[in-house]
Structure 1
Amino acid sequence: MPPAPETVEIDFITPRHLAGGGDPAWITVPLHRACGWSHGNDPLMPRVLLSSPDQKALLRLEPDPDGQWWTLHHAAEPDRPAWYASFGARTPVELIAAVTDALTGPPPDASAPSDPYEPLRQDGWSEYGVQGLVSPDESAYVERLGTLDAPGAWFVTVTLGFGQKVWEARFGAHTPSHLVAAFTTALADPKPVHRTDSGRSLPTLDPNLVTRRTTDVLAVHIASALEDRVQSLAARRASPSAIPSSPPLSPPKSGRHR
C-alpha cells in the first residue's frame, strides 16, 4: 500500500483579531512575485524592505520590541500628501494583506462607499467614545482622532483585560479611506483564519474569548495556499477585472475544539 498522505494539524481561529500574527510571507511573497515590488537584501539586519515598482511606496518589516513591526510609507502625490500605515507584531497578516491587496489593486470606483466604520457596524460593533466603535467582545476598538472638520489618524487597538495591549494598527490622517476600509472589512470578517502554531502565537487561550477548531489538513494544501494566493494576485495584475480569491483553506464541518 502507498504511504498515507502527510497531514498537518491546523487550528482555525475566531475572532481573527485574536489569532496572532501568522506568516509574514502571506504579505511579502505576493508583493514581490505577483505585484512586482523589489526587495533589498541586508543579511546583517533582521528586516525586510519592499518597494513598489513606481518607488512611491515602501513596506518595512522590522522586529521592534517597543514599536510597530510593519510600516508602510507612501510618498506624496498631486492630489494627496504623503501617508503611512503601521501594524504591531501580532496584527494578523490577513488584515495587513487586505491593505496591500487594495493598494496594489485597480483604483477604487469613485462612487463606491469607503466608510471604514460601515463593515464594523454591520458586524454588530457599537459606539465607543466620540468617534469610535468597539467589538462585541469589547477587545477591539477602532477610532479616528481629530474633529469632523479636521479628521486625524485612525487607531485600531486590541486589548485583553486590565489594558493589556495585544496589537495596534495606525493609519495616518491622509491614508486613502478605501485602504482603511479594506482593513476594517477584513477585521469584521467572521470567517476564521488558520494557524499552525496557535499554541505559541495566540495572545490568550481563554475559551471565552478565542475559539480554536483543530483538524488535520493535507500538507500539500498548506504548501499550495501561498502559491494559489500569488497566482490569484498575478492574474489580477494582468486583468484588472479579476478579483483575488480568498485564502483556500477553510474550516472543516467537524473538528476538535479547544
Structure 2
Amino acid sequence: MSKQFWDEWNARPQQHYLIEPRYLAGGGDLRHVTEYLRASGWKDLSRTGGPIVFDSPDKSVRLGFDPLVRPGGWTIRGRASGHQEAWHATLGLQTPAEIVAGLTDALTQPRSAHAPNPWAPLERRGWEAKPGPHVTAVSPDQNAWIQWHESGAGQAHWWASARTEHGTAWHAVFSPTTPMHLVESFSAALADPQPVMRPRGMFPPSNRIRTTSVSVRPAELSAWQQARITAARAAVWARSNWTRARPRTTTPPTAPYSHAGQTHARR
C-alpha cells in the first residue's frame, strides 16, 4: 500500500461507540493491558499462535491470557516474597481490558503509603453495601458487584462479576492473599463512571448498556494509545533516575537494632 493510501486512511473518521457502564462493554483491546506492561519493562514471553505471557522485571509476577482453554481469560500469579504470600487472580474472557488494567497497571507502580481499602472507591461511586453472610458491594444499576466471600476458616476469596439480561458477562476471583492495594486498584477501575470506547460491532448486545456514537480517526486512536505507552515509559525512567540519585545512608555502629514505636510497612 502507498503512503498516500495510509495517510488518507488515518485521516478518514471511523464509527466507534462510547459504552456505559464500562463493566458491560466486553473485553476490548488486549493491547490496552499488554503494551503498558511492555513499556513498563515487563518481558514478553508470548509465542506466535500461543497464549500471551508476560513476566515482571523482577520475575515475581507472571501474567497470562489464553482464549483457547476453558474457561479462558486472564491469569495473574504472584510469587511469595518476604512477608507477602503467594497469590493469584483470574479474570474472565469478557472482563473489559480497562478494568483488567486497573489491576495490572498497579503491578508496575510503587505501593502508595496509605492503607489500602478496596471498598472506598465503591462507596465514593454510590455502590451499595448489601447485608448477608458475605460482605458485598453492588453497583447502582445492580448489574455488577464485588464480594469478600468467606465460607469457612481458611476458605475465602474476593469475587467480582457483572451480568446482562443474557446472564453472567464475566467474573473475576482473587485469592485471599492478593495484595490489598491491587484489589483496591481493581475496584476503582470497576466503579469508574467514565465510558470506554469500542469499535462498531465489538461490544455485546444488551439493553442494559448506553451507547454514544462518535467518529474517530485512526490517527487519533494511535495517538491516545501512544500517550499511555509514553506515560508508562516516563514512570520507569523517573523511578530509575530517583533510585540512582538517592543518597546512600549508613547506620551508625552504636544505633540499636530497633526503636520503641518503630512503624512497619503494611503488607
TM-score (norm 2): 0.80
Verify the 8 A CA contact 2:36 2:105 in the aligned structure 1: no
Verify the 8 A CA contact 2:146 2:160 in the aligned structure 1: yes
2:40 pairs, out of 35, 44, 51, with 35
1:133 pairs, out of 129, 133, 137, with 137
Alignment of 1:179-194 (within 5 A): 179-194=182-197
2:187 match: secondary structure: helix
Q: 1:21 to 1:221 in 2, by over 3 A?
A: same
1:16 pairs, out of 22, 31, 34, with 22
1:170 is the counterpart of 2:173: yes
2:64 match: secondary structure: strand
Residue in structure 1 matched with residue 12 of structure 2 by the alignment: 6
2:121 pairs, out of 99, 113, 119, with 119
Give me the whole-angstrom Cα distance separating, in 2, the residues matched to 1:65 and 1:10. 30
Verify the 8 A CA contact 1:68 1:88 in the aligned structure 2: yes
Count, aligned residues: 231
Give me the whole-angstrom Cα distance separating, in 1, the residues matched to 2:213 and 2:51. 32
Residue in structure 2 matched with residue 201 of structure 1 by the alignment: 203
1:160: Cα distance to partner?
A: 2.4
Verify the 8 A CA contact 1:105 1:240 in the aligned structure 2: no
Give me the whole-angstrom Cα distance separating, in 1, the residues matched to 2:119 and 2:15. 35
Alignment of 1:62-81 (within 5 A): 62-64=66-68, 66-81=70-85
Query: Deviations 1:157-214 (Å, cap 9, x if unpaired)?
Result: 112247x1110011111111111111111111111111114x3432x331xx211000
1:91 pairs, out of 87, 95, 98, with 95
Give me the whole-angstrom Cα distance separating, in 2, the residues matched to 1:127 and 1:104. 30
Q: Runs of 5+ in structure 1 lacking a partner?
A: 242-258
The one-letter code sitting in structure 1 at the alignment partner of 2:25 is: A
1:72 match: secondary structure: strand
Verify the 8 A CA contact 1:76 1:82 in the aligned structure 2: yes
1:86: Cα distance to partner?
A: 1.2
TM-score (norm 1): 0.83
Which 4+ residue blocks in structure 1 deviate beyond 3 angstroms?
147-151
The one-letter code sitting in structure 2 at the alignment partner of 1:173 is: P
Alignment of 1:131-170 (within 5 A): 131-146=135-150, 152-161=156-165, 164-170=167-173
The one-letter code sitting in structure 1 at the alignment partner of 2:164 is: L
Residue in structure 2 matched with residue 234 of structure 1 by the alignment: 233
1:230: Cα distance to partner?
A: 0.7
Q: 1:160 to 1:51 in 2, by over 3 A?
A: same
Alignment of 1:210-249 (within 5 A): 210-240=209-239
Give me the whole-angstrom Cα distance separating, in 2, the residues matched to 1:49 and 1:41. 5
The one-letter code sitting in structure 1 at the alignment partner of 2:214 is: T
Which has the larger displacement, 116-125 or 34-43?
34-43
1:40: Cα distance to partner?
A: 1.9
- Flag the structure with larger Rg: 2
1:215 match: secondary structure: strand
Give me the whole-angstrom Cα distance separating, in 1, the residues matched to 2:142 and 2:216. 32
Residue in structure 2 matched with residue 249 of structure 1 by the alignment: none
**Root-mean-square deviation (Å):** 2.3
1:50 match: secondary structure: strand
Give me the whole-angstrom Cα distance separating, in 1, the residues matched to 2:193 and 2:183. 18
Query: Deviations 1:120-149 (Å, cap 9, x if unpaired)?
Result: 112111122331011111111110122798
Verify the 8 A CA contact 1:15 1:190 in the aligned structure 2: yes
1:79: Cα distance to partner?
A: 0.6
